[in-house]
Amino acid sequence: MENFKTSESWRVFRIQSELIDGIETLNDLGPAVSIFGSARLPETSEYYQAAVKVARDLSQAKFSVISGGGPSIMEAANKGAYGQGGQSVGLNIELPFEQSPNETQDISLSFRYFFVRKLMFVKYSMGYVVFPGGFGTLDEFFEAITLIQTKKILDFPIILYGTSFWSGLLDWLKAEVLKQGCISEEDLDLFYVVDSPDEVLPIIKKHQEHLNQNPERDHRFSV
């Protein structure tokens, strides 16, 4: 007889447990912004330093900051937010390499399943700031704009940090993806590109003001 703890049914219970833990922990978090980026850039990187500044500005403005909870840009986000007014949140993922929780988290959750963790980012964020990163960072960016484009979630600011890093991708989107008709011209307006930490907070605050004026929109999922 199959061991229940290794069965598909048992996996459903594990997924359910992660969902409940995440929802119960984050439900009263309040306005929050997620910061994404590489787990491999050194502390001396200009992007690491910029992520600290962005997170500090957000936290001092009473926004909580959510990161993936690991090293590099994630660590910078939690470090900048920690003790500055907003909560510093880490949504950690169990990986065979790279990921170990950083030490500057007021709230720390650990996930086995990427899709549950990604749901928590979307559900509890009112904005994304996306620093240079690898496949995981690109995945978070493209999933968010896909959900907004298809109106599965209500739109919120997605801010790409660093023109020099993102320009090649954006040029390709315009020269190939748009040219072939795979996306529409307005889809390229679903995100911002900035080069200074000081540009981030005004975008987030403007969105918050819009939500305050339209309280019926203060709900992430449109369906």
Domain annotation covers residue 2: no
- Which residues, at least 6 apart from 129, have a Cβ–Cβ distance to it below 8 Å? 33, 34, 35, 36, 51, 54, 159, 161, 200
CA-wise closest residue to 84 among 27, 156, 33: 33
- Does pLDDT of 190 surpass 70? yes
Domain annotation covers residue 218: no
Report pLDDT digits (tens) over 105-138.
Answer: 999 999 999 999 999 999 999 999 999 999 999 9
- As a whole number of angstroms, the distance between CA 83 and CA 217 comes to 30
Please give the tally of structural domains in the chain: 1
Q: Average pLDDT over the chain, rounded to whole?
A: 93
Domain annotation covers residue 99: yes
pLDDT at 218: 55
- Cα–Cα distances in angstroms (integers) from residue 67 to residues 12, 50, 78, in the given order: 26, 15, 7
If you ran DSSP here, which 8-state letter would residue 16 be given? H
Burial (CB count within 10 angstroms: exposed 0-12, middle 13-18, buried 19+), residue 154: middle
Tell me the percentage of the chain whose pLDDT exceeds 70: 92
Report pLDDT digits (tens) over 150-163.
Answer: 999 999 999 999 99
Q: Which domain holds residue 171?
A: 28-213
Q: What is the pTM of this model?
A: 0.93
CA-wise closest residue to 74 among 84, 60, 88, 62: 88
Domain annotation covers residue 87: yes
pLDDT at 223: 47
Report pLDDT digits (tens) over 30-86.
Answer: 999 999 999 999 999 999 999 999 999 999 999 999 999 999 999 999 999 999 999
Domain annotation covers residue 177: yes
> By mean pLDDT, which of 12-21, 69-78, 134-143, 212-221 is the weakest?
212-221
Domain annotation covers residue 194: yes
pLDDT at 220: 65
Domain annotation covers residue 70: yes
If you ran DSSP here, which 8-state letter would residue 77 be given? H
Burial (CB count within 10 angstroms: exposed 0-12, middle 13-18, buried 19+), residue 78: buried
CA-wise closest residue to 90 among 28, 58, 81: 81
pLDDT band at 165 (very low <50, low <70, confident <90, very high): very high
pLDDT at 221: 65
pLDDT at 101: 82
CATH at 127:
3.40.50.450
Domain annotation covers residue 92: yes
- Cα–Cα distances in angstroms (integers) from residue 178 to residues 135, 181, 185, in the given order: 22, 5, 7
- As a whole number of angstroms, the distance between CA 220 and CA 81 comes to 23
- Does pLDDT of 1 surpass 50? no
